[in-house]
Amino acid sequence: MGGVKPRAVALAFRAVALAEACSWAGLLFGMFVKYVLATSERGVQIFGPIHGGIFVAYVVVAVVAARVLRWNATTTLLALAASVPPLATLWFDRWATRNGRLPVPEAAPTS
């Protein structure tokens, strides 16, 4: 994976981590409507497959990030484990950035 830039991988990881957390939130809302309010299954029918697809994408991007960013086994396992609890991918993103495991995004140019 020599041609892949670490900052590009970090950006992709952050985007997929955010999408995974948002899809979790949508699925949790759908489950609330289905099981607590017992009014509709539509939210689960919509967000279930969306979350499933993004979950798989997160795992793939996490493995690529681990390789390109040279994460140790502990960091890699934390990244993968963060895909299971709701919104934990956001926690992992912050933790990895704070501990130097994810490159900090470049500041946008100002005029």
Tens of pLDDT along the chain (111 residues) come to: 567 888 999 999 999 999 999 999 999 999 999 999 999 999 899 999 999 999 999 999 999 999 999 999 999 999 999 999 999 999 999 999 999 999 987 767 777
CB atoms under 10 Å from CB of 74, counted, come to 8
Domain boundaries, the chain: 6-99
Helix ranges, 1-111 (H)? 6-31, 42-68, 73-81, 88-98
**How far is it, in rounded angstroms, from Cα 35 to Cα 57?**
27
pTM: predicted TM-score of the whole model, two decimal places: 0.89
Torsional sign, CA 93, 59, 26, 18:
positive
